[in-house]
Amino acid sequence: MPLADYRLRVDWEGQGTYGGSADVTARTLGVSWQRGRDFASQLIGRSVAGRFTAQINNESGDYSSFNASSPLNGSLLPGRLVQVEGTAGGTSYILWTGYLQRIVPKPDAKGINSASLEAIGPLGFLNQRKVDMPMVTNMLTGTAMGTILDNAGWGTARSLDAGRTTMTRFWASREPTINALRLVEETEGGFVAEAKGGSILFEDRYHRLASPHTASQATFTDNPSGTLFYTGIEQEDPLPGIFNIMEAEVQLFAVGSLATLWTLAESGTDSPLVEKDQSKSYWAQYPTPDSPTDAVGVDAWTVPAGTTDYTASATAGTGTELTASFAATATRYGNSMLVTMTNNGTGDGYLTKLQARGTPVTKLDPVKVSAENTPSQSVYGERTYPSPARFIPDTGEAQDWCDWNLGIYKSPIPIVAISFVANRNAAHMTQALSRDISDRITIVGTGSAGLGVAEGFFIEAEHHRVDSHRTHIVTWECSQAARYSDAWVLDMSALGTSTRLAY
């Protein structure tokens, strides 16, 4: 039985490297990890943060956070990089990378003391932060993804497709990072995911229509004459994935004239004190309770100007004019602006007036488009799927989205999960270590499985478990490839190979 060599490393020092005591392989009793979508569907499945768990021998007490004599004391902190690597046939593969969440010691009076190490993938780590983006116009979805990651403080560990949809207007206001990414993902009809090496990925809707995703990378079968075999296969109920009415809403906006959008409520004798050489910050927000009901944000904020937008005096409401001694700086977002007022004068002063001006953005009347298939409705009843996308640029693209997805989901789609033992032979081990999310494989279940399935599938989620004997069990959750990849794409597809045009 072939065995891979696995290495588990944790960046205890927080240096972005795996030196010193980072390698904890010798103490590892077993590991499991997963990543990908929460359901193997390109429509209703969503990429979720990866998960990793390891059981570690803790007889030494090194992994007990309150053990002051531990060489890792003070280093068992959340956010440390965690990575598992596998080597087989002389080739090494990064299998999972993420960030430490917690280490929980587990004393055992009858066995060995252990500790449970839990880590989360990059999407989960990023989601601890919220992003604020000013309104932008005419931005490709891939560019928007990069801007969101920049705003969240994410580095260069990313691989982003350019995208196919240009959003006429986009912003994010105090959104958890993964929610902001999904706003773009839903508009594009693409896929946000985590790479094995810890990068953030964005696949646009054409990604799987190009090489290498057009060709199967392996065939797993229940046919005894095959080469690669699964030990278990399970078909998901296809009925929840049938939709014969597709709806999409287009929301366009109008930009108004420059106006005062927010005013500090404290004024007169209630004016706030700003001491000499000190600063105070205020969040101006729009819409306010007095704004029009269709107001949504601000196209462009104006940095507050002295006398016009703020005044200051030596006493609350009256006294010597000190406006010239005050300075304003501003950080502008989609529906808020952080204004910092600094007193550069020789004495304390009161901020007697502060307002924020900008060009307001209001909603126009929304437009809903739809597509439906009556033959499907007669068999399965009316089954509606409303697009969650908020930034579809126009009704033409909305209609294309409805037509495209109706063609895919009006009838049942096979969703299949297969499991196999990686240790069966070298070929299975290579597949276990090298295959990735979005890879195309062929699954045959026409023999003893009796499923009548023999076609291409995309891997949508992976689950791995390696025990103390290095027995490695793999499960892949897969979506049908044919209906997603039978379209013709300009400059990508060969002429005459398909009859359906991708939107």
Q: At what angle do helices 141-151 and 177-188 cross, to 10 degrees?
A: 180
Q: Is the dihedral of CA 313, 314, 317, 321 positive or negative?
A: negative
| Cβ–Cβ < 8 Å for 99, 126 | no
Q: Are the CB atoms for 238 and 413 separated by under 8 Å?
A: yes
Residue whose pair of structure tokens reads 């994010």 in the numeric block: 172
Q: b/e for 9-29, b at 16 or more Cβ within 10 A?
A: bbbbeeeeebeeebebbebbe
The Cα 449–Cα 6 span in angstroms is 32
Predicted model pTM: 0.92
Q: What pairing do the DSSP bridges indicate for beta strands 130-136 and 166-167?
A: unpaired
Q: What is the pLDDT of residue 500?
A: 61
- CB burial of residue 469 (10 Å; 0-12, 13-18, 19+): exposed
Strand partners, 91: 88
Query: Which H/E stretch holds residue 284?
Result: strand 279-285
- 463: amino acid identity, one letter: H
User: Low-confidence residues of the chain, pLDDT below 70?
Assistant: 1, 486-501
pLDDT of residue 486: 66
At 495 the pLDDT is 46
Exposed, middle or buried by CB within 10 Å (0-12, 13-18, 19+), for 239? exposed
Q: Which of 368, 364, 438, 363 is nearest to 401 (CA)?
A: 368
| 26 secondary structure, DSSP code | G
Q: Cβ-count burial of 384 within 10 angstroms (0-12 exposed, 13-18 middle, 19+ buried)? A: exposed
**What is the reported pLDDT for 491?**
60
Please name each of the domains of the chain with its CATH number.
5-120 (2.40.10), 127-204 (3.55.50.10), 206-238+413-503 (2.40.30.150), 245-252+365-409 (no CATH), 254-363 (2.70.40)
